Amino acid sequence: MNKKYKTYNYILNLWLESKTNLKLQSLLNYKNLINTYLDNTIGNIKIDKLERKDIENLLYNLENNIAVSTRKKLIYIIKSSLNYSYNNGYNDYIDISNIKLKIPKTTMFVLSKKEQSILETILKDKPNIRKICLLLCLYTGLRVGEVCGLKWEDIDFSNKSLIVKRTIQRIKNTNPNVKGKTILIESTPKSETSNRIIPIPDFLINLLYKFKNKDDYFLLSNSNKLYDPRLFESFYSRVLKKCNIKQNKFHTLRHTFATRCIESHMDIKTLSEILGHSQIETTLKLYVHPTYEMKKSSIENLVLFMAN
């Protein structure tokens, strides 16, 4: 059968099969996006009949109905799969290099210094390992999966540092022999640069030492069993309620850490490496949020500069 009589769905399946280096979570995520948004839309179109306008119409119709992160992934899938199709002789070149979706500017919530102070006071009162791990996120910028993946062997008490080398995720269960719609898995960090060593403040090292356990035990589960990130997110939510702080995503701790680092004049390169980013631009674009105090201080410094 002529390659050009194949549907785009057929191409998408071949493209997925070619992504042999993808983590299981990413592969399942891509499959779900394809099933949800492409299979019954442009997926039914013969690859030799698929045109740029078909893709533009699809993206336009989805523009206000899906999350920003979903939009970005969907565009990546379309661009990458069509490049794969062209390189393997299934269709003529379709120029979609400059196709973009209008993405509204969003602002991630960041704890104010007052809110952070209130939160820290609660966490330091009658500390337990979960409270200490929340403090750890505030002072290292760890992702929720990364902190759940920490074992005691990852804490270097002599050098006062930790190493990030694993993450815990809850993913869709594709094994018919295992009960449940989702399962917990242990995997490597998000990217190569996410494997990193992060210094730990003295006060946190001292707190952690009081709870030190077997090297192969996870900090949060107090055993060698995986700890569910959703449980830790729920704990964070309960702490916020106790602090009378507006509910926000766990990732707020990472954004707050980055913002405090900038306020304390940490250089961007250092911050980028601590966060595990491969590019400084990612740090600036996604994790640095100038506060009103920072803006006010900058204006005051300008006035002082002009007066001299």
pTM, full prediction:
0.71
- Do residues 12 and 34 lie in contact, with contact meaning Cβ atoms separated by under 8 Å? yes
For the chain, residues classed under CATH 1.10.443.10 are 113-295
Q: For residues 112 and 293, give the distance between their C-alpha atoms in angstroms, rounded to a whole number.
A: 10
pLDDT in tens, 101-156: 555 555 678 999 999 999 999 999 999 999 999 999 999 999 999 999 999 999 99
The hierarchical CATH code for the domain 113-295 is: 1.10.443.10
Q: Give yes or no for residue 97 having a pLDDT over 90.
A: no
Architecture of domain 3-87: Orthogonal Bundle (1.10)
pLDDT in tens, 195-232: 899 999 999 999 999 999 999 999 999 999 999 999 99
Q: For residues 273 and 258, give the distance between their C-alpha atoms in angstroms, rounded to a whole number.
A: 11
For the chain, residues classed under CATH 1.10.150.130 are 3-87
Burial class (CB in 10 A: 0-12, 13-18, 19+), 50: buried
Helix, strand counts (H, E) of the chain:
13, 5
